[in-house]
Amino acid sequence: MSLLEQLRGMTVVVADTGDIEAIARYRPQDATTNPSLLYKAAQMPQYQRIVQDAVEFAQSTETAPEAQLDACLDKLAVGFGKEILEIIPGRVSTEVDAHLSFDTKATVAKAHRLIELYAKQGVDRKRILIKIASTWEGIKAAEQLEKEGIHCNLTLLFSFPQAVACAEAGVTLISPFVGRIHDWYLKDRGVKEIAPTEDPGVHSVQRIYRYFKSHGYKTEVMGASFRNIGEIVELAGCDLLTIAPELLKTLEETDQPLTRRLSPDAKNGDAETKIHLDEKAFRWMLNEDAMATEKLSEGIRKFAADLVSLQKVVAKLMKQPVGV
């Protein structure tokens, strides 16, 4: 069997794309999107009907330009999500505006809005994961939402304290970013390559997975942001892995034995001592990790910038000034 088929027997495979055709091609269980992916998809000719539907919805429900733009972007995210859910059997992750990453109240309000829009489309909230940046404020928002039965995917996760805080908050899913950790260490070490077995991003996910399983946390671990299939191979058996279409294609075309690396039942050595984090401890531990601090800030800026780019595309279609 191909690596992809073997992987499906160990791990829930998730498509990391807004391209509906690619999702249909690779038949993942779940799918996840973000502003970067939606920005690309919204410019593809085959998806203009979804974009136009969002524009018409916003113009029919709001009068103020800024409110129209917000409504259009929310509807666009839900429109792509609904299309994806018609193809996959599982869940789709829909991201909250990165500009709200440090505002718990606004994040909760935006999540409520997205769930409301999905409900109007007949989509059960059980099939939606609200995707939120793993800041302290984002984690607290997710904690509140989970208590309301709204499930969350905490993204832009680069460090152990972020993962622990998410688990203690009872979030459904976390997305540790393997590839972006890899990128930071390539630059920091001044090297061009790091073997998958030595990859700090891989080691981070392995550590989090084993800690969660050792202490009975229900939060699922979904490795994300891969740079090569070697990283994926080293995480075979992780709860979920979200993989871009080009790497799904490589996995599908590669025939070699795949060994399970992670298992909830396996003895993973001495378990790390369980810790509890309040806000002060969380912020200190995150601050002590230069890589995580830099990549979290960078990731929020990048998602926010891509959302602004998407706003410009939508504003042009709505015949609004680009700066609105």
Q: How far apart are CA 69 and CA 13, in angstroms?
A: 33
Token digits for 209? 């997975």
Q: How far apart are CA 257 and CA 272, in angstroms?
A: 31
CA-CA distance, 91 to 222, in Å (whole number)? 13
Give the integer Cα–Cα distance in Å for 72 and 101. 20
| DSSP code at position 131 | E
Report how far residue 224's alpha carbon sits from residue 205's, in angstroms, rounded to the nearest whole number.
9
Asked whether 206 and 235 are in contact (CB, 8 A), the reply is yes
Give the containing element (helix H, strand E) for 145: helix 136-147
**The total number of residues written for the chain in this structure:** 324
- Distance separating the N- and C-terminal Cα atoms of the chain: 52
Q: What is the largest CA-CA distance in the chain?
A: 61
Report the distance separating Cα 43 and Cα 126, nearest Å: 29
> 82, 110, 131, 213: which one is catalytic?
131
Residue 141 and residue 108: Cα distance in Å, rounded?
6
Contact status, residue 71 vs residue 276, Cβ threshold 8 Å: no
Q: Clarify whether 131 is annotated catalytic.
A: yes
Helices (H) and strands (E) in the chain, counts: 14, 8
Distance CA 146, CA 155 (A): 15
- SS3 assignment, position 218: coil
Active site members? 131
